[in-house]
Amino acid sequence: MGSTAGEVTRADFPEGFVFGVATSAYQIEGARNEGGKGDSIWDVFTDNKERVLDGSSGEVAVDHYHRYKEDIELMAKLGFGAYRFSISWSRIFPDGLGTEINEQGVAFYNNLIDFMIEKGIQPYATLYHWDLPHNLQKTMGGWLSDKIVEYFALYAEACFANFGDRVKHWITINEPIQTCINAYGVGIFAPGLCKGVAAEPFLAGHHQILAHAAAVDVYRRKFKAKQGGQVGFVIDCEWAEPKSDKMEDQAAAARRIDFQLGWFLDPIYFGDYPESMRQRVGEYLPKFSEKDRELMRNKIDFIGLNHYTSRIIGNQPNPQPQEIHFYQVQQIERTDKWSSGEAIGERAASEWLLIVPWGIRKTINYIVKKYENPIIYVTENGKASMLLIFFLVHFLYLKFLIVVSFPAYVG
C-alpha cells in the first residue's frame, strides 16, 4: 500500500532502498578503561571539563559496549535494515601503532557484527570517526604527520582481516573537513589545537586523503577478490545557493562547494585540489607527488554524503579579519536569510540547522554530474529533536530521494 495524502510510508520507496541508523564509537560505547582500550584524543580532550558545555564526556555514554544487544534489538524492532557504526582505532590498537592487536577489542566488534547480522541488520563500518589514538597525537602530531598514512593503513588492514568476511560496506574516514577545521584550526574538537597556523588544517586534510587511498589500496590488493566489499569516503557538505544571479555571487557559491566537496574528492577523481583552492590557499596547500596521484587514482567505490542544511552564499572580497584563514581565503558571505529577510528554511531545535529539502537534491545532482555518476550513500541527514534517519541509497534511486519531503520520525 502506498501513501495517503501528505504521508510517506516504506511502500513509497523501491525494493532495495535501505533505511538505517548511525552512531560513532566515542559517542556511544563508553568503557573507556575496559577491554584493553587505549585513550583516544576525545578521551583526553574531555578530561578538561571546561571544553564541554555541561562538562560531560563519553566515558560511559549510553554504555553501548555492555548493552549493544539491547541497542541492536531496538534497531531491529524499529525496522531498520542497516547500522552504520564506527570502530574505535584505540580499541583495536591501543597505541595506534599497529604492532600488537588488542584481541578483546576484536572480540567486541566480532560479537557486535554477529549479533546485528543475526537480527537482519547490515553492518556499515566506519574506520575513523574522529577518535584518533592519543598516542599518535602525542608522539607525532596526529594528522599533521605523513607517518599517519602508514599507521592508518595498518589499522584498516587489521579491520578488513578480522571483520571483512561479514562487513561489505566500509567507510574509511568520516567528515575529514571537521577534523581539519574544528580540530586543527578552530580547536573546538579534539585534540583542540588552535595555534593560528594557516597551513595545519590543509596538511591534516592532505594526510586524510592519502590515508583513505592507502586503505582502499590495501583492500583491493589483499581482500577485495575474496570479500567482495566496497570502500568509500564520507564527506559533509552544505549546499551553497548563490545570493543572486550576479557572476561574482555564482562564483562564490561554486568556491564554497570546492572548499567542502572538491577539497577531498577532486584529488581522488582528478588528481589534484580544485583550482579555486590552489589560487586562494597558495603555498599553504600541500602538493601531491606523482606517487601520491597514482595511489589516489579512482580509489573510491562510493561517496558517502552527510547533508543537513544549505546556506546562501555571496561574494565577499573583504572577509572579516577575525575569521580563521580557511574562511578568509574563500572570500564568501555565508548567511541563512535572503535579501528580503526571509529564512532559507525552517529552523530546527539546533540553532545552526535549517531544514532546506531542495538543498540535498541540488547537492546530489552536483555530485552525480561532476564525479561521473558514482554510487552515493546518503550516510547522514535529519534534524534535531528527531530520531535521525540515515538514508542509504544507490544512485539509481536518487529520484525517489530527491522528490520526497521526509517527515520527522519522533523517537
Tell which residue, 380, 411, 371, 397, has the closest CA to residue 309: 380
In the residue annotation, 175 being an active-site residue is answered as yes
Per-residue pLDDT at 386 = 38
Which pLDDT does position 136 carry in this prediction?
Answer: 98
Predicted pLDDT at 404? 25
User: Tell me: the pLDDT tens digits for 17-42?
Assistant: 888 999 999 999 999 999 999 999 99
Q: Say what the pLDDT of residue 96 is.
A: 98
3-state SS string for the chain: CCCCCCCCCHHHCCCCCEEEEECCHHHHCCCCCCCCCCCEHHHHHCCCHHHCCCCCCCCCCCCHHHHHHHHHHHHHHHCCCEEEEECCHHHHCCCCCCCCCCHHHHHHHHHHHHHHHHCCCEEEEEEECCCCEHHHHHHHCHHHCCHHHHHHHHHHHHHHHHHCCCCCEEEEEECHHHHHHHHHCCCCCCCCCCCCCCHHHHHHHHHHHHHHHHHHHHHHHHCHHHHCCEEEEEEECCEEEECCCCHHHHHHHHHHHHHHHHHHHHHHHHCCCCHHHHHHHHHHCCCCCHHHHHHHCCCCCEEEEECCCEEEEEECCCCCCCCCHHHHCCCEEEECECCCCCECCEECCCCCCEECHHHHHHHHHHHHHHCCCCCEEEEECCCCCCCCCEEECCHHHHHHHHHCCCCCCCC
Residue tagged active-site, from 29, 157, 241, 380:
380
* Domains located in the chain, CATH noted: 16-233 (3.20.20.80), 237-381 (no CATH)
Active site residue 380: yes
Q: Could you say which residues of the chain have pLDDT below 50?
A: 1-2, 385-411
Tell me what pLDDT residue 4 has. Answer: 54
Reported as a single tens digit per residue, the pLDDT across 241-257 is: 999 999 999 999 999 99
Residue of 29, 157, 175, 241 marked catalytic: 175
pLDDT digits (tens, 9 = 90+) for 76-103: 999 999 999 999 999 999 999 999 999 9
